[in-house]
Amino acid sequence: MSTILTFRQQVLVATAVDSDGDGNPDVVAVGIIRPKETEWSLQLPVITDFSPYYSTLGRGNDSRLKKCD
């Protein structure tokens, strides 16, 4: 059985929306999980899964809960 190596990263993306009216664009946390082979040339389709809670509570069944202060 082969092991699939993956990259996991989180980036913050500024949007064109100011939903709280503070004069600053909203920032969205984006979690990226991709196979190591995509670092060079492998191109794959994208699966997106949106939620306002992933940056604070984790990813549900993924069992990756965030540490809260």
Runs of H (alpha helix) within 1-69? 54-57
3-state helix, strand, coil in the chain (%, to 5): 15, 25, 60
Q: What is the pTM for the complete model shown?
A: 0.55
pLDDT in the model for residue 21: 94
Q: Where are the domains of the chain?
A: 1-37
Per-residue pLDDT reduced to its tens digit, 25-57? 998 878 788 888 888 888 888 887 776 666 666
Tokens found for residue 55: 């940056």
pLDDT in the model for residue 11: 84
Tokens found for residue 62: 């993924």
Widest Cα–Cα separation across the chain = 53
Q: Tokens 């997106």 correspond to what residue?
A: 48
